[in-house]
Protein backbone atom coordinates (compact mmCIF):
# COMPACT_ATOMS: atom_id res chain seq x y z
CA UNK A 1 0.00 0.00 0.00
CA UNK A 2 0.99 3.60 0.43
CA UNK A 3 0.23 4.77 -3.07
CA UNK A 4 -1.94 7.85 -2.90
CA UNK A 5 -3.08 9.17 -6.26
CA UNK A 6 -2.71 12.89 -6.79
CA UNK A 7 -5.75 14.47 -8.38
CA UNK A 8 -5.06 17.52 -10.54
CA UNK A 9 -7.23 19.88 -12.49
CA UNK A 10 -6.24 19.79 -16.14
CA UNK A 11 -6.50 23.06 -18.04
CA UNK A 12 -6.69 23.09 -21.84
CA UNK A 13 -4.81 26.02 -23.33
CA UNK A 14 -5.63 26.34 -27.03
CA UNK A 15 -2.57 26.98 -29.18
CA UNK A 16 -3.30 29.99 -31.40
CA UNK A 17 0.09 30.75 -32.97
CA UNK A 18 1.35 29.42 -36.29
CA UNK A 19 3.09 26.11 -35.92
CA UNK A 20 6.83 25.86 -36.54
CA UNK A 21 7.73 23.53 -39.50
CA UNK A 22 8.31 20.59 -37.18
CA UNK A 23 4.68 20.78 -36.06
CA UNK A 24 3.11 21.22 -39.52
CA UNK A 25 1.41 17.81 -39.19
CA UNK A 26 -0.85 19.48 -36.60
CA UNK A 27 -2.16 22.08 -39.06
CA UNK A 28 -5.97 22.15 -39.10
CA UNK A 29 -6.34 20.38 -35.75
CA UNK A 30 -7.40 21.83 -32.44
CA UNK A 31 -4.19 21.70 -30.43
CA UNK A 32 -3.97 22.39 -26.70
CA UNK A 33 -1.22 22.59 -24.15
CA UNK A 34 -2.53 20.54 -21.23
CA UNK A 35 -1.41 21.87 -17.85
CA UNK A 36 -1.93 20.35 -14.41
CA UNK A 37 -2.68 22.49 -11.37
CA UNK A 38 -3.75 22.08 -7.75
CA UNK A 39 -4.99 25.67 -7.72
CA UNK A 40 -7.59 26.20 -10.46
CA UNK A 41 -8.89 29.30 -8.66
CA UNK A 42 -5.61 31.03 -9.53
CA UNK A 43 -6.19 30.76 -13.29
CA UNK A 44 -7.21 34.44 -13.47
CA UNK A 45 -3.60 35.38 -12.83
CA UNK A 46 -1.86 33.28 -15.49
CA UNK A 47 0.90 35.11 -17.31
CA UNK A 48 2.60 32.27 -19.22
CA UNK A 49 3.23 28.53 -19.26
CA UNK A 50 6.41 26.63 -18.34
CA UNK A 51 8.18 23.70 -19.99
CA UNK A 52 11.50 21.98 -19.34
CA UNK A 53 13.61 22.92 -22.41
CA UNK A 54 15.30 19.50 -22.68
CA UNK A 55 12.16 17.62 -21.63
CA UNK A 56 10.50 15.16 -24.00
CA UNK A 57 6.93 15.90 -25.01
CA UNK A 58 4.59 14.89 -27.79
CA UNK A 59 1.36 15.89 -29.54
CA UNK A 60 -1.14 13.15 -28.71
CA UNK A 61 -4.56 12.49 -30.27
CA UNK A 62 -7.18 12.87 -27.56
CA UNK A 63 -10.20 12.54 -29.86
CA UNK A 64 -10.87 12.68 -33.61
CA UNK A 65 -10.37 16.44 -33.57
CA UNK A 66 -8.40 17.36 -30.46
CA UNK A 67 -4.69 17.07 -29.78
CA UNK A 68 -2.95 17.64 -26.44
CA UNK A 69 0.71 18.53 -26.06
CA UNK A 70 2.11 16.88 -22.91
CA UNK A 71 4.52 14.16 -21.80
CA UNK A 72 4.09 10.60 -22.98
CA UNK A 73 3.62 9.53 -19.39
CA UNK A 74 0.70 11.97 -19.00
CA UNK A 75 -0.79 10.87 -22.35
CA UNK A 76 -0.68 7.30 -21.06
CA UNK A 77 -2.44 8.25 -17.83
CA UNK A 78 -5.14 10.10 -19.78
CA UNK A 79 -5.58 7.18 -22.18
CA UNK A 80 -6.61 5.08 -19.16
CA UNK A 81 -9.14 7.77 -18.22
CA UNK A 82 -10.82 7.64 -21.63
CA UNK A 83 -8.93 10.62 -22.96
CA UNK A 84 -7.33 9.15 -26.05
CA UNK A 85 -8.50 8.58 -29.60
CA UNK A 86 -7.51 4.94 -29.29
CA UNK A 87 -8.63 3.62 -25.87
CA UNK A 88 -5.69 2.86 -23.57
CA UNK A 89 -3.23 3.58 -26.41
CA UNK A 90 -1.79 7.05 -26.68
CA UNK A 91 -1.10 7.95 -30.32
CA UNK A 92 1.61 10.51 -30.88
CA UNK A 93 1.45 12.66 -34.03
CA UNK A 94 4.85 14.28 -33.50
CA UNK A 95 7.54 14.05 -30.84
CA UNK A 96 8.65 17.39 -29.41
CA UNK A 97 11.17 18.79 -26.98
CA UNK A 98 10.35 21.55 -24.53
CA UNK A 99 12.51 23.84 -26.66
CA UNK A 100 10.14 23.23 -29.62
CA UNK A 101 7.22 24.43 -27.49
CA UNK A 102 8.91 27.60 -26.18
CA UNK A 103 7.36 30.66 -27.84
CA UNK A 104 4.05 29.00 -28.72
CA UNK A 105 1.10 31.27 -27.99
CA UNK A 106 -2.05 29.94 -26.42
CA UNK A 107 -5.29 31.10 -24.83
CA UNK A 108 -6.32 29.92 -21.42
CA UNK A 109 -9.53 29.83 -19.47
CA UNK A 110 -10.27 32.70 -17.02
CA UNK A 111 -6.92 34.38 -17.72
CA UNK A 112 -6.98 38.17 -17.97
CA UNK A 113 -4.01 37.99 -20.31
CA UNK A 114 -5.12 37.27 -23.85
CA UNK A 115 -1.98 35.54 -25.04
CA UNK A 116 -0.11 33.05 -22.89
CA UNK A 117 3.43 32.34 -24.13
CA UNK A 118 5.36 29.22 -23.25
CA UNK A 119 8.68 29.83 -21.51
CA UNK A 120 11.54 27.71 -20.11
CA UNK A 121 11.74 26.75 -16.45
CA UNK A 122 14.60 24.60 -15.22
CA UNK A 123 12.73 22.83 -12.43
CA UNK A 124 9.71 21.53 -14.29
CA UNK A 125 9.46 17.81 -13.54
CA UNK A 126 8.55 15.63 -16.50
CA UNK A 127 7.37 12.94 -14.07
CA UNK A 128 4.70 15.16 -12.54
CA UNK A 129 1.35 16.22 -13.98
CA UNK A 130 1.63 16.83 -17.72
CA UNK A 131 5.16 18.27 -17.66
CA UNK A 132 3.70 21.66 -18.60
CA UNK A 133 2.83 24.12 -15.86
CA UNK A 134 0.74 27.25 -15.92
CA UNK A 135 2.46 30.22 -14.34
CA UNK A 136 0.77 32.38 -11.72
CA UNK A 137 3.51 34.69 -10.38
CA UNK A 138 1.17 36.45 -7.93
CA UNK A 139 0.66 33.29 -5.86
CA UNK A 140 3.41 30.80 -6.71
CA UNK A 141 6.99 31.51 -5.58
CA UNK A 142 8.32 29.09 -8.23
CA UNK A 143 6.49 30.97 -10.97
CA UNK A 144 7.45 34.37 -9.59
CA UNK A 145 11.20 33.66 -9.46
CA UNK A 146 11.29 31.89 -12.84
CA UNK A 147 9.56 34.88 -14.46
CA UNK A 148 11.93 37.29 -12.69
CA UNK A 149 14.89 35.26 -14.00
CA UNK A 150 13.62 35.61 -17.56
CA UNK A 151 12.82 39.31 -17.20
CA UNK A 152 16.11 40.26 -15.56
CA UNK A 153 18.57 37.99 -17.37
CA UNK A 154 19.03 38.69 -21.05
CA UNK A 155 21.44 35.74 -21.43
CA UNK A 156 18.76 33.42 -20.13
CA UNK A 157 16.27 34.71 -22.70
CA UNK A 158 18.80 34.45 -25.53
CA UNK A 159 19.82 30.92 -24.59
CA UNK A 160 16.27 29.65 -25.03
CA UNK A 161 15.16 31.93 -27.86
CA UNK A 162 12.72 33.93 -25.76
CA UNK A 163 12.10 37.33 -27.35
CA UNK A 164 12.23 40.43 -25.14
CA UNK A 165 8.80 41.62 -26.23
CA UNK A 166 7.25 38.30 -25.19
CA UNK A 167 8.33 38.54 -21.58
CA UNK A 168 9.21 42.08 -20.57
CA UNK A 169 5.67 43.53 -20.57
CA UNK A 170 4.36 41.09 -17.97
CA UNK A 171 3.00 42.50 -14.76
CA UNK A 172 1.96 40.41 -11.82
CA UNK A 173 -1.83 40.29 -11.59
CA UNK A 174 -3.26 40.39 -8.04
CA UNK A 175 -5.97 37.74 -7.72
CA UNK A 176 -6.07 36.55 -4.10
CA UNK A 177 -5.66 38.49 -0.88
CA UNK A 178 -3.55 36.56 1.62
CA UNK A 179 -4.31 37.71 5.20
CA UNK A 180 -0.63 38.04 6.10
CA UNK A 181 1.12 38.55 2.75
CA UNK A 182 -1.26 40.74 0.74
CA UNK A 183 -2.37 40.35 -2.84
CA UNK A 184 1.01 39.53 -4.41
CA UNK A 185 1.95 37.03 -1.75
CA UNK A 186 4.57 35.21 -3.85
CA UNK A 187 6.45 38.41 -4.66
CA UNK A 188 6.29 39.53 -1.03
CA UNK A 189 7.68 36.28 0.41
CA UNK A 190 10.43 36.09 -2.24
CA UNK A 191 11.54 39.65 -1.43
CA UNK A 192 11.42 38.97 2.33
CA UNK A 193 13.48 35.80 1.95
CA UNK A 194 15.82 37.49 -0.55
CA UNK A 195 15.29 34.74 -3.11
CA UNK A 196 17.37 35.73 -6.11
CA UNK A 197 16.65 32.97 -8.64
CA UNK A 198 14.82 29.76 -9.40
CA UNK A 199 17.97 27.87 -8.37
CA UNK A 200 17.40 28.59 -4.66
CA UNK A 201 15.33 25.49 -4.15
CA UNK A 202 15.51 25.26 -0.35
CA UNK A 203 14.44 28.85 0.15
CA UNK A 204 11.69 28.40 -2.43
CA UNK A 205 10.36 25.32 -0.66
CA UNK A 206 10.24 27.32 2.58
CA UNK A 207 8.52 30.21 0.82
CA UNK A 208 5.88 27.88 -0.59
CA UNK A 209 5.27 26.35 2.84
CA UNK A 210 4.80 29.80 4.32
CA UNK A 211 2.35 31.30 1.82
CA UNK A 212 0.51 28.52 0.02
CA UNK A 213 -1.53 27.27 2.98
CA UNK A 214 -2.64 30.79 3.90
CA UNK A 215 -3.52 31.70 0.32
CA UNK A 216 -5.63 28.58 -0.02
CA UNK A 217 -7.29 28.20 3.39
CA UNK A 218 -7.57 31.87 4.39
CA UNK A 219 -7.27 33.75 1.10
CA UNK A 220 -10.01 35.89 -0.41
CA UNK A 221 -10.59 36.22 -4.14
CA UNK A 222 -10.12 39.82 -5.28
CA UNK A 223 -11.10 39.31 -8.93
CA UNK A 224 -13.59 37.43 -11.08
CA UNK A 225 -17.09 36.13 -10.44
CA UNK A 226 -16.24 35.18 -6.85
CA UNK A 227 -14.50 38.39 -5.78
CA UNK A 228 -14.98 38.92 -2.05
CA UNK A 229 -15.41 35.22 -1.31
CA UNK A 230 -13.02 32.92 0.50
CA UNK A 231 -10.98 30.63 -1.77
CA UNK A 232 -12.08 27.60 0.24
B1 LIG B 1 0.41 24.82 -8.96
P2 LIG B 1 2.42 18.81 -6.15
CL3 LIG B 1 -0.64 29.67 -7.90
N4 LIG B 1 6.75 20.25 -12.51
O5 LIG B 1 -0.45 25.53 -9.94
C6 LIG B 1 6.82 21.20 -11.54
N7 LIG B 1 5.75 21.74 -10.96
C8 LIG B 1 4.54 21.34 -11.40
C9 LIG B 1 4.39 20.36 -12.40
C10 LIG B 1 5.56 19.81 -12.97
N11 LIG B 1 5.50 18.90 -13.94
N12 LIG B 1 3.08 20.15 -12.63
C13 LIG B 1 2.42 20.98 -11.79
N14 LIG B 1 3.29 21.70 -11.05
C15 LIG B 1 3.03 22.73 -10.04
C16 LIG B 1 -0.56 26.96 -9.64
C17 LIG B 1 -0.03 27.07 -8.26
C18 LIG B 1 0.51 25.86 -7.83
C19 LIG B 1 -0.04 28.16 -7.39
C20 LIG B 1 0.46 28.03 -6.11
C21 LIG B 1 1.00 26.81 -5.69
C22 LIG B 1 1.02 25.71 -6.56
C23 LIG B 1 0.17 27.78 -10.65
N24 LIG B 1 1.47 27.30 -10.96
O25 LIG B 1 1.54 24.50 -6.21
O26 LIG B 1 3.86 18.50 -5.94
C27 LIG B 1 1.68 23.35 -10.18
O28 LIG B 1 1.68 24.65 -9.60
C29 LIG B 1 2.16 24.40 -4.93
C30 LIG B 1 2.81 23.06 -4.77
O31 LIG B 1 1.71 17.77 -6.95
C32 LIG B 1 0.77 22.53 -9.27
O33 LIG B 1 -0.14 23.51 -8.71
O34 LIG B 1 1.78 19.14 -4.85
C35 LIG B 1 1.73 21.97 -8.24
O36 LIG B 1 3.06 22.11 -8.79
C37 LIG B 1 1.51 20.50 -7.95
O38 LIG B 1 2.47 20.16 -6.98
Mutate to test the pocket of ligand 1, among 4, 6, 13, 37 (most ligand atoms within 8 A of CB): 37
CATH class of 9-171: alpha beta
* Secondary structure letter of residue 86 according to DSSP: B
Write out pLDDT tens, residues 106-129.
999 999 999 999 999 999 999 999
> Both ends of the chain: CA-CA distance in Å?
30
Per-residue pLDDT for 138 more than 90? yes
Write out pLDDT tens, residues 183-230.
999 999 999 999 999 999 999 999 999 999 999 999 999 999 999 999
Q: Which residues line ligand 1 (CB under 6 A)?
A: 6, 36-39, 42, 124-125, 128-129, 131, 133-136, 139-140, 143, 208, 212
Closest Cα to atom 28 of ligand 1: 37
User: Which atom from ligand 1 is nearest to the alpha carbon of 142?
Assistant: 24
Q: Is 59 exposed, middle or buried (0-12, 13-18, 19+ CB in 10 A)?
A: buried
CA–CA separation, 62 vs 70, rounded Å? 11
CA–CA separation, 14 vs 72, rounded Å? 19
In this predicted complex, what is the ipTM? 0.98
Amino acid sequence: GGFIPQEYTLIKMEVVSHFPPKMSVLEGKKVYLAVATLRPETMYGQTNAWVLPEGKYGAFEISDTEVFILTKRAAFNLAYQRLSRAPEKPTCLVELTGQDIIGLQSRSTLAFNDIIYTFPMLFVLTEKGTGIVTSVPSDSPDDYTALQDLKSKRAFRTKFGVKDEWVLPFEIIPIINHPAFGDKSAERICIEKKIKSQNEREKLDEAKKIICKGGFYEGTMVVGDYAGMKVL
